[in-house]
């Protein structure tokens, strides 16, 4: 199927979903703006047409999508939703717009070359983009997007969008873009215009393209790129809200000077460079020298949040279990269209029909519903019966890594499994088989009889998180005085990447060396067998990895199985 | 961004093979410049070339910003740092030192190339050395 055909098919499916969602919705006409109180940003005003969109089932659906997925099983108060976050992003986007306009009013002549004031109309479009930016998110937020985003059909769509628009959005952003661009949503906007809820003078049908473009970070005219940057860019409103909101609701104390950042953020136009630069200049969000410290603080805090929250071992474990269950549902739904599976996930768009609540059994005690494997996992998660750590994979816990090329390439292969589901699956199967063999050995046969009968491959999870990358430092250009012109009457302006002032790569390197952790998780009763199996498998070629005692010790196993080399070799024999 | 297994592994192997060939050349130091823009533009050109595009076919570039940028390259380089294949030495962090003698992927990667691609690969390695390599001091 060609790119255009793939896009048409996706648009038709999404349109069908939007049509079903809005079929019974009758938007109310509010006479004046409404204010909503928010824990992070205080009192936030919303225009009548924004309230009409917020009240629609399409946006109300976001109330049932937790912002941090299943993190509440680890941080009990992390119960904030995509809906709360959406309100926050609209508010932050407006604050960025106001900050830019204040500066351009003060410093630049209207209509001059550096006049990047944002019009009233553009401000409203930016707010609508913020309002709709997460509308394509699905159950368990980022967990589900790693599954539908990796399907073949979605891969074709990603490539088509990349070729057509030259951007690389994330799967949920593409889904939001599809929602905004689909026929049924266009019809909904027409209804809002005809009923005079959305002012016709401020909003034309062509604006939909701009709003959708902002969501995926695309602007046809590079001189307006900063408008998309507010929604999807290196320091966008999305990031500013989620960093503050996730930290606040999860509980770890992470402090940012967001006020200072929002005070200093600016839009600047500078010469474009490189082989793709058809237009001579581009206008983007930027930060002056006096705001760099605030941005540094945000970036470093983002790294800390990875450690506290996004890469927390228990959260990775819960996400791994959810990933396993959803992937299983998708596999069974696709392979056996009539099979009893719940939720039914036979196409990337089918994820839109499910929310967090619809995945888990609601009756108590939680029964196993639908497919046996997925049902068991959802039931375990509902009871918070979680897998345990069987082995910690960290650069700190690997012996002789610096001196052993074989180990380096073995570790490199293992890290590649982070985005290679097939490779990860093969490793998991190998560990499972070795663990099962050990359970059946003469030493353990009697004690592990029951376990041996119940133990299945999905009771083992290999988790290799991606290292955080920090795009801000290369994509954000900072205006500085050109070399040798300081003090001159007409000092020339130059632009340097933020990385020239704040070399974040040193921090990211240090984070990876010290804080990055991969894991092998397993059901509680099998964890010591899986520990021995994982150590044996990873010690052999092609991995050649020897772990220090801490890799096991920090897992707090009751009674680790000793693994001298001879036993390791015999464990692997015949598997 | 999640990508398909096979193509992602090919790009990974291409990068490792490229770095190993640079480290193997006595005329160059076993290191390359940690020049973000230079690296991304180099691989962007590799992707645009009809002969070499297949080496990095799954790299997706954002061409909407300051210069072509591919998130997968940043992720791969970060992973190579973590595994110890590359190292950015103190105090300047201006170079990526190649910390392995020979990549086991070099032959594996090259054996899969067609005769035309072998020439194209040689051209890509030469261009990489020229643009981002550091000539050995005599």
User: In chain A, what are the domain boundaries?
Assistant: 3-310, 313-386, 387-467+516-575
Walk along chain A (575 residues) in steps of 10 and give the mean pLDDT of each run.
Answer: 91 98 93 95 96 97 95 96 98 96 75 77 96 96 93 95 95 98 96 90 85 96 94 93 95 88 91 70 90 89 89 96 94 87 90 90 82 92 96 95 91 92 95 94 89 96 88 80 60 79 82 92 96 95 94 90 68 68
Query: Chain A to chain B, count of Cβ pairs less than 8 Å apart?
Result: 146
pLDDT at B53 over 70: yes
Cβ of A273 under 8 Å from any chain B Cβ? yes
CATH number of A3-310: 1.10.3210.10
> Smallest CA–CA separation between A458 and chain B, in Å?
20
Put simply, whether the predicted model's pTM sits higher than 0.90 gets the answer yes
Query: Residue B111 domain-assigned?
Result: yes
Inter-residue contact A180 to B74 (CB < 8 Å): no
Give SS3 for A390. Answer: strand
Inter-residue contact B75 to B58 (CB < 8 Å): no
pLDDT at position A42: 96
Query: Residue B135 domain-assigned?
Result: no
pLDDT bucket at B1, cuts 50 / 70 / 90: very low
Picking from A181, A154, A166, A265, the residue whose alpha carbon sits closest to that of residue A217 is A166
pLDDT at position A281: 85
Taking the C-alpha atoms of residue A446 and residue A440, their distance in angstroms, rounded to an integer, is 8
Taking the C-alpha atoms of residue A518 and residue A67, their distance in angstroms, rounded to an integer, is 23
Taking the C-alpha atoms of residue A295 and residue A298, their distance in angstroms, rounded to an integer, is 5
Residues of chain A in contact with residue B44, where contact means CB-CB under 8 angstroms, are 275-276
> Smallest CA–CA separation between B15 and chain A, in Å?
12
- Which tokens is A361 given? 């059994």
Query: Residue B137 domain-assigned?
Result: no
Query: Residue B60 domain-assigned?
Result: yes
pLDDT at position A564: 61
Enter the ipTM.
Answer: 0.90
pLDDT at position A105: 77
Residue A398 DSSP symbol: B
Q: What stretch of H or E contains B129?
A: helix B115-132
pLDDT at B110 over 90: no
Taking the C-alpha atoms of residue B66 and residue A473, their distance in angstroms, rounded to an integer, is 12
Picking from A495, A95, A45, the residue whose alpha carbon sits closest to that of residue A263 is A95
Residues of chain A in contact with residue B81, where contact means CB-CB under 8 angstroms, are 509, 512
| Residue A253, Cβ density class (10 Å: 0-12 exposed, 13-18 middle, ≥19 buried) | exposed
Q: Which site among B4, B58, B82 would you substitute to test the A interface, given the most A Cβ atoms closer than 10 Å to its Cβ?
A: B82
User: What is the tally of structural domains in chain B?
Assistant: 1
Alpha-helical runs (H) found in A217-335: 225-231, 237-250, 258-264, 292-305, 313-335
| Half-sphere CA count of B4, side-chain side, radius 13 A | 14
Cβ of A308 under 8 Å from any chain B Cβ? no
Taking the C-alpha atoms of residue B1 and residue B12, their distance in angstroms, rounded to an integer, is 15
Nearest CA in chain A to B70: A168
CB pair distance less than 8 Å for B81 and A408: no
Interface of A with B in 390-429 (CB under 8 A): 395, 401-402, 405, 407-409, 411-412, 415-416, 418-423
Of A421, A497, A512, the CB nearest to B81: A512
Taking the C-alpha atoms of residue A130 and residue A87, their distance in angstroms, rounded to an integer, is 8
Q: Give the CA distances from residue B71 to residues A215, A487, B5, in Å, rounded to whole numbers and listed in that order.
A: 18, 39, 16
Residue B72 domain boundaries: 5-130
Of B45, B60, B80, the CB nearest to A168: B60
For chain B, the residue count is 138
Inter-residue contact A131 to A124 (CB < 8 Å): no
Of A282, A415, A503, the CB nearest to B93: A503
Picking from A123, A134, A56, the residue whose alpha carbon sits closest to that of residue A95 is A123
pLDDT at position B8: 41
| Residue A2, Cβ density class (10 Å: 0-12 exposed, 13-18 middle, ≥19 buried) | exposed
pLDDT at position A414: 96
pLDDT at position A484: 63
State the angle between helix axes of A505-514 and B71-83 in degrees (0 to 180), rounded to the nearest 10: 50
Nearest CA in chain B to A276: B63
Instruction: Give the count of beta carbons closer than 10 Å to the beta carbon of residue A39.
Output: 12
Q: Give the CA distances from residue A155 to residues A6, A538, B4, in Å, rounded to whole numbers and listed in that order.
A: 10, 31, 8
Inter-residue contact A64 to A305 (CB < 8 Å): no
Inter-residue contact A148 to A13 (CB < 8 Å): no
Instruction: Give the count of beta carbons closer than 10 Å to the beta carbon of residue A300.
Output: 17
Picking from A239, A287, A227, the residue whose alpha carbon sits closest to that of residue A260 is A287
Query: Residue B49 domain-assigned?
Result: yes
Picking from A377, A405, A267, A240, the residue whose alpha carbon sits closest to that of residue A319 is A377
Residues of chain A in contact with residue B45, where contact means CB-CB under 8 angstroms, are 275
Residues of chain B in contact with residue A469, where contact means CB-CB under 8 angstroms, are 71, 74-75, 78
- Helix and strand numbers, DSSP H then E, in chain A: 26, 9
CB pair distance less than 8 Å for A411 and B84: yes
The structure tokens 């909407």 sit at B64
Q: What stretch of H or E contains B81?
A: helix B71-83
Over residues B91-110, the mean pLDDT reads 80
Query: Residue B40 domain-assigned?
Result: yes
Taking the C-alpha atoms of residue A262 and residue A401, their distance in angstroms, rounded to an integer, is 44
- Which tokens is A441 given? 């050995």
Taking the C-alpha atoms of residue A457 and residue A36, their distance in angstroms, rounded to an integer, is 48
Q: Which site among A3, A151, A420, A514 would you substitute to test the B interface, given the most B Cβ atoms closer than 10 Å to its Cβ?
A: A420
- Which tokens is A451 given? 């376990």
pLDDT bucket at B4, cuts 50 / 70 / 90: very low
* Sign of the torsion angle spanned by Cα atoms A21, A11, A80, A78: positive
Reduced 3-state DSSP string for A358-372: HHCCCCCCCCCCCCH
Dihedral angle over CA of A36, A39, A43, A48, nearest 10: -20
Interface of A with B in 210-229 (CB under 8 A): 217-219, 222, 225
CB pair distance less than 8 Å for B62 and A415: no
The two most distant CA atoms of chain B are separated, in Å, by 44
Inter-residue contact A177 to A9 (CB < 8 Å): no
Of B60, B70, B88, the CB nearest to A509: B88
- Which tokens is A396 given? 């700190």
Say how far residue A257 (Cα) sits from the centre of its chain. 23
pLDDT at B95 over 50: yes
Bridge-partner residues for A388, per DSSP? A522
State the angle between helix axes of A505-514 and A292-305 in degrees (0 to 180), rounded to the nearest 10: 20
Inter-residue contact A497 to A292 (CB < 8 Å): no
Residues of chain B in contact with residue A167, where contact means CB-CB under 8 angstroms, are 62, 64
Give SS3 for A485. Answer: coil
Q: Which site among B20, B40, B78, B92 would you substitute to test the A interface, given the most A Cβ atoms closer than 10 Å to its Cβ?
A: B78
């Amino acid at each position: 199927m060609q790119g255009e055909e793939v896009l048409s098919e996706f648009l038709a499916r999404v349109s069908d979903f939007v049509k079903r969602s809005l079929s019974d919705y009758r938007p109310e006409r509010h006479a004046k703006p409404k204010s909503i109180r928010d824990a992070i940003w205080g009192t936030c005003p919303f225009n009548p047409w924004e309230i009409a969109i917020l009240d629609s089932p399409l946006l109300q659906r976001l109330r049932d999508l937790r912002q941090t997925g299943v993190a509440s099983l680890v941080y009990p108060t992390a119960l904030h939703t995509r809906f709360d976050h959406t309100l926050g992003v609209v508010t932050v986007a407006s604050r960025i717009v106001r900050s830019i306009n204040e500066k351009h009013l003060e410093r630049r002549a209207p209509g001059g070359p550096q006049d990047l004031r944002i019009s009233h109309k553009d401000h409203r479009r930016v707010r609508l983009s913020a309002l709709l930016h997460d509308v394509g998110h699905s159950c368990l937020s980022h967990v589900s997007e790693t599954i539908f985003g990796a399907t073949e059909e979605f891969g074709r769509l990603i490539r088509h969008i990349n070729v057509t628009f030259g951007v690389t959005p994330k799967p949920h952003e593409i889904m939001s873009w599809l929602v905004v661009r689909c026929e049924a949503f266009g019809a909904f906007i027409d209804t809002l215009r005809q009923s005079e809820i959305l002012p016709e003078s401020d909003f034309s049908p062509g604006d939909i393209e701009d709003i959708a473009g902002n969501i995926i970070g695309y602007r046809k005219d590079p001189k307006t790129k900063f408008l998309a940057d507010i929604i999807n860019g290196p320091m966008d409103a999305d990031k500013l809200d989620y960093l503050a909101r996730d930290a606040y609701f999860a509980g770890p104390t992470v402090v940012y000077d967001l006020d200072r950042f929002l005070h200093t953020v600016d839009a600047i136009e500078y010469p474009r460079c490189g082989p793709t630069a058809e237009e001579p200049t581009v206008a983007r969000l930027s930060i002056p020298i006096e705001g760099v410290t605030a941005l540094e603080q945000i970036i470093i805090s983002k790294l800390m949040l990875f450690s506290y929250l996004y890469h927390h071992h228990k959260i990775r474990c819960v996400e791994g279990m959810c990933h396993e269950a959803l992937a299983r549902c998708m596999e069974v739904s696709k392979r056996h269209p009539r099979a009893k599976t719940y939720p039914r996930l036979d196409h990337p768009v089918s994820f839109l029909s499910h929310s967090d609540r619809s995945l888990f059994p609601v009756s108590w005690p939680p029964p196993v519903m639908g497919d046996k494997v997925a049902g068991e996992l959802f039931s375990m998660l509902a009871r918070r019966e979680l897998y345990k750590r069987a082995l910690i994979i960290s650069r700190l816990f690997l012996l002789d890594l610096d001196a052993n090329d074989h180990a380096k390439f073995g570790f490199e292969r293992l890290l590649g499994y982070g985005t290679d589901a097939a490779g990860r699956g093969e490793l998991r199967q190998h560990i499972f088989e070795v663990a099962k063999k050990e359970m059946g050995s003469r030493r353990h046969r009697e004690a592990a009889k029951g376990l041996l009968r119940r133990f299945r491959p999905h009771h083992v999870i290999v988790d290799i998180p991606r290292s955080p990358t920090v795009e801000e430092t290369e994509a954000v250009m900072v205006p500085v005085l050109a070399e040798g012109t300081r003090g001159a009457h007409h000092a020339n302006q130059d632009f340097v990447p933020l990385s020239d002032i704040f070399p974040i790569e040193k921090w990211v390197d240090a984070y990876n060396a010290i804080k990055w952790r991969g894991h092998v998780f397993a059901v509680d009763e099998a964890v010591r067998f899986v520990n021995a199996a994982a150590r044996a498998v990873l010690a052999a070629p092609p991995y050649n990895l020897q772990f220090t005692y801490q890799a096991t010790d920090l897992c707090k196993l009751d009674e680790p199985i000793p693994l001298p080399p001879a036993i390791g070799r015999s464990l692997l024999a015949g598997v | 961004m999640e990508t398909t297994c096979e193509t992602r592994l090919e790009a990974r192997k291409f990068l490792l093979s490229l770095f190993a060939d640079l480290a193997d050349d006595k005329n160059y130091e076993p290191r390359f410049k940690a020049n973000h823009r230079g690296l991304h533009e180099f691989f962007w050109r590799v992707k645009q070339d009809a002969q070499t595009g297949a080496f990095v076919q799954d790299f997706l570039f954002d061409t909407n910003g300051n210069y072509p940028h591919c998130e997968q390259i940043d992720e791969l380089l970060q992973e190579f740092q973590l595994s110890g294949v590359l190292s950015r030495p103190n105090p300047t962090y201006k170079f990526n030192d190649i910390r392995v003698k020979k990549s086991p992927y070099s032959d594996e990667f090259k054996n899969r190339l067609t005769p035309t691609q072998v020439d194209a690969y040689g051209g890509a390695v030469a261009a990489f050395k020229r643009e981002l390599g550091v000539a050995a001091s005599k």
